[in-house]
Amino acid sequence: DAKTTQPPSMDCAEGRAANLPCNHSTISGNEYVYWYRQIHSQGPQYIIHGLKNNETNEMASLIITEDRKSSTLILPHATLRDTAVYYCIVRVEFSGTYKYIFGTGTRLKVLA
């Protein structure tokens, strides 16, 4: 019952921007979008989250469409160490609490 869809894989040249899309068409008005990445055999690492305004931090930028049905994570200058699986997550409210359901993610490969 993942609420997000992402392309299964993408390649990006080292030094170029990596743009990772995510569809979350059923997102509700007050739900945030969270992005994580997972490098092999480690726990997911938090990258960024947002509600409706674009966000930027030291790792990435997050662009959310005006209708909030999709978003794009931008790694401005990808490095080989950015090779990972990137997950876009929307919380699911259930019986008065929240769950965080992972979709299949995008496997990003940064090429030298």
- Please report, as ranges, the residues that interact with other proteins according to CB under 8 A: 2, 32, 34, 36, 38, 41-46, 49, 51, 87, 95, 97, 99-105
Question: Cα separation of 86 and 66, whole Å?
Answer: 22
Q: Nearer Cβ to other proteins, position 4 or 70?
A: 4
CA 68 to chain centre: 14
Q: Which is nearer to other proteins, 83 or 87 (CB)?
A: 87
C-beta of 12 vs 86, nearer to other proteins = 86
CB of 100 to other proteins, least distance (A): 6
Q: Would you say 9 or 65 has its CB closer to other proteins?
A: 9
Q: Least separation, in Å, of the C-beta of 43 and other proteins?
A: 4
User: What's the closest the beta carbon of residue 12 comes to other proteins, in angstroms?
Assistant: 20
Query: How far apart, in whole angstroms, are the C-alpha atoms of residue 86 and residue 45?
Result: 9
The alpha carbon dihedral of 9, 11, 15, 21 has a sign of negative
**What is the three-state SS of 48-74?**
EEECCCCEECCCCEEEECCCCCEEEEE
- The angle formed by the CA atoms of residues 77, 24 and 31, to the nearest 5 degrees, is 95
**CB of residue 103 to other proteins, shortest distance in Å:** 7
